[in-house]
């Protein structure tokens, strides 16, 4: 029951007791006394429930504030990419016009983590052939980031307004509960916290476009600029999210995760080895987990059969939903390691809670910077456009919530 409902019931019980007490016929005995005592008892009971609920509400609020305090700006939405101002054809052309004093264009990201069930509904279609071509500049960039990296969408996105290093508390050892007898003091068991540092590495580049091309009304400038920047960002970011070393660059999921098992072969994995990977992840993380693997691993997976001759890999039957393995999403990422000796071609785990992607998402500006300058190429009537995103990534948690399968 909600706190406000309990409060209303408490006030109703108090009003009932006052009504009895104000009744001229009330003399402290009889039916009116029974009614009065019952109302008083209800008022006390609801007051106790109200107090307990308020304590729970306060604890929940403090927990939410603690989580949101991991960074200076974290957007509260958890249902997908935050609604951002649409940046379309006219604004892109105005931005590229050398006579326009506005030389910087920011694309706000604002992505937040979601459960796997939520994210595949929101962005799962972006990695399918049937995805509708987006129309805004931000859509074009995100379209290519999702196309290049299957790790981007299901991960936990931490957006900050500034780019300084941030320290993220990580639970190292859980608190434990005890069964305690009546009138016996509770046993204190403090959780142990460690910490991880997230930086803001700049991924950038530039390209040159002719002024005639930019002013040609027949050219889809939004698509052209969005595709060029999006593919470049997505390609490099995808490499780091998969295999980044974490030293001077973002940490990839295959580097930060822990080992589940090493395959007997140097080039292939078996059904039983996939089961070992799946069940090595704690049950809580497993229920929200997903598989990520490269193209050659997907190709091998598609050929594996169980003892009854049935294929274990289940292609998606509904557009926009991912393929599944053991009932969990199975994502193809072209930047995951290949099937070669010593590589870690497959990971499984809860990315939505334990793989953090930090982006510097300026509160009033945006997350992806686009700038142009025509002065160096003034005589050739060309415009230089550059782009940048500030980001980092890291596996959080030490309980094996994300694990990899290695080849011998």
42-67 per-position pLDDT tens digit: 888 888 888 877 777 776 665 555 44
Question: Is residue 14 domain-resident?
Answer: yes
Looking at the fold, whether 151 and 61 belong to one and the same domain comes out as: no
pLDDT at 401: 94
Measured N-to-C along each axis, helices 221-243 and 137-148 cross at an angle, to the nearest 10 degrees, of 30
**149 in the same domain as 9:** no
- Report yes or no on 74 lying in a domain: no
The pLDDT, as a whole number, for residue 296 is 95
Domain annotation covers residue 49: yes
pLDDT of residue 77: 35
Residues 319 and 198 reside in one and the same domain: yes
Same domain, 8 and 127: no
245 and 147 inside one domain: yes
Pair 14, 113 in one domain: no
- Chain-centroid distance, C-alpha 21: 58
Together in a domain, 55 and 133: no
What's the pTM value of the predicted model, to 2 decimals? 0.69
Q: Are residues 50 and 100 in the same domain?
A: no
pLDDT beneath 70, residues of the chain: 1, 59-138, 216-219, 222, 319-320, 362-366
* Count of structural domains, the chain: 2
Together in a domain, 99 and 18: no
Q: Does some domain include residue 75? A: no
Identify whether residues 33 and 95 lie together within a single domain: no
Supply the pLDDT for residue 165: 92
CATH number of the domain bearing residue 135: 3.30.2400.10
What pLDDT, on the 0 to 100 scale, is given for residue 290?
95
- Domain around 31: 3-68
For 159, what's the count of Cα atoms within 13 Å in the CB-facing half-sphere? 24
Domain presence at residue 29: yes
Q: Are residues 7 and 131 in the same domain?
A: no
Q: Is residue 362 part of a domain?
A: yes
- Under 8 Å between Cβ of 268 and 300: yes
Same domain, 63 and 95: no
């Amino acid at each position: 029951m909600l706190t406000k409902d309990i409060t209303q019931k408490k006030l109703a019980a108090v009003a009932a007791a006052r009504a009895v007490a104000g009744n001229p016929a009330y003399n402290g005995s009889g039916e009116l006394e029974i009614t009065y005592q019952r109302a008083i008892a209800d008022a006390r009971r609801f007051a106790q429930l109200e107090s307990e609920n308020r304590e729970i509400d306060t604890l929940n609020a403090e927990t939410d504030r603690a989580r949101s305090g991991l960074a200076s700006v974290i957007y509260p939405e958890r249902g997908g990419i935050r609604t951002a101002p649409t940046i379309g054809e006219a604004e892109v052309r105005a931005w590229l016009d050398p006579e326009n004093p506005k030389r910087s264009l920011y694309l706000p990201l604002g992505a937040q983590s979601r459960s796997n069930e939520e994210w595949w509904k929101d962005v799962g279609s972006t990695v399918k052939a049937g995805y509708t071509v987006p129309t805004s500049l931000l859509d074009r960039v995100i379209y290519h980031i999702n196309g290049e990296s299957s790790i981007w969408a299901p991960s936990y996105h931490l957006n900050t307004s500034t780019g300084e290093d941030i320290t993220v508390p990580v639970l190292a050892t859980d608190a434990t509960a005890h069964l305690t007898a009546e009138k016996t003091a509770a046993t204190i068991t403090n959780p142990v916290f460690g910490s991880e540092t997230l930086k803001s590495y700049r991924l950038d580049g530039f390209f040159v476009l002719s002024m005639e091309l930019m002013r040609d009304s027949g050219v889809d400038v939004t698509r052209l600029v969005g595709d060029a920047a999006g593919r470049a960002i997505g390609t490099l970011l995808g490499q780091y999210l998969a295999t980044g070393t974490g030293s001077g660059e973002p940490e990839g999921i295959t580097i930060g995760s822990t080992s589940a098992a090493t395959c007997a072969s140097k080039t292939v994995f078996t059904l039983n080895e996939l089961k070992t990977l799946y069940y090595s992840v704690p049950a809580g993380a497993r229920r929200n987990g997903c598989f990520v693997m490269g193209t050659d691993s997907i190709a091998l997976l598609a050929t594996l059969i169980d003892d009854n001759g049935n294929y274990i890999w289940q292609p998606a039957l509904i557009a926009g939903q991912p393929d599944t393995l053991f009932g969990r999403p199975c994502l193809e990422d072209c930047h995951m390691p290949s099937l070669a000796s010593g590589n870690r071609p497959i990971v499984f785990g809860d990315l939505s809670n334990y793989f953090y992607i930090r982006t510097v998402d300026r509160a009033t500006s945006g997350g992806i910077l686009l700038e142009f300058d025509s002065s160096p190429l003034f005589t050739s009537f060309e415009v230089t456009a550059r782009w940048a995103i500030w980001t980092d990534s890291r596996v959080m948690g030490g309980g094996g919530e994300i694990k990899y399968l290695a080849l011998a």
